[in-house]
Amino acid sequence: MKKQLSRTSVIKSLLFAIILTALFLPSRSLAQSSGWPSDSTQIKAYIDTKMKKPSYPRAVGYLSFILPLVTVSNSTTFNFNSTTTAIGFPVGVNVLYSDHFGFSYEFTPTIKTTNGGATKVTDILFDPGTMFRFQHGFTLITRLAFDTNGRYGFTPVFNQVYLRTKDVNYFVALSLPARFGTGEDASVGLNLQIGFIFN
């Protein structure tokens, strides 16, 4: 009887010690705590996403389309009017050197439609530039511009990633192309660009 009583006391003491230890453990060490996955595969994926830093340098490609909204020169021209409509298809590669800096190489063929219904590729723009990357997916890109129609200049681009997925990041950008050359007046425009970057 005495042996049985002491065995019961030992078991009760052990259970009390286990419960007491569990109460003082940090909440994130428990698998059932909020925001912490329970499965070991999920835990590994969670750690990889939260802790793993991307290695640099690395290159990512992107596809997009760009709508020239308005161009101001000696007169103001709106892109979507009764006479002509133009749309560009920028494709490029971003070489990222850190979380804060990269370099972008972009080619943009532009297709123009006239009021007669004829469509053609009017020019191809090469506009490389430096990327200054900030928090929350915002990037400022300072591009040079060399166009096959003979015009040249520079383009500041304000780029924002608005949706991230495993395979691609979706972005929207506003750009202000300044152009010179070919004996024409200097011009400044406003463009809207939408596209996605491959991860």
pLDDT tens digits for range 112-159: 988 777 899 999 999 999 999 999 999 999 999 999 999 999 999 999
Angstrom distance (rounded) from CA 74 to CA 58:
43
Angstrom distance (rounded) from CA 39 to CA 16:
27
pLDDT score for 115: 79
Which tokens belong to 148?
A: 């096959």
Q: Helices in the chain by DSSP H: which ranges?
A: 2-24, 40-51
Selection from 147, 102, 153 nearest residue 124 by Cα: 147
pLDDT score for 84: 81
Mean residue pLDDT across the chain: 84
How big is the chain, counted in residues?
A: 199
pLDDT score for 126: 98
Q: What is the pLDDT of residues 6-23, one digit of tens each?
A: 566 656 666 666 665 665
- Asked if residue 95 lies in contact with residue 57, where contact means CB atoms within 8 angstroms, the answer is yes
Angstrom distance (rounded) from CA 100 to CA 148:
32
pLDDT score for 75: 84
Angstrom distance (rounded) from CA 95 to CA 57:
7
Where are the extended beta strands (E) located within 32-176? Answer: 58-72, 76-78, 84-88, 91-96, 101-114, 119-126, 129-133, 138-147, 152-164, 168-175
Give mean pLDDT, residues 174-192: 96
| 3-class SS of residue 13 | helix
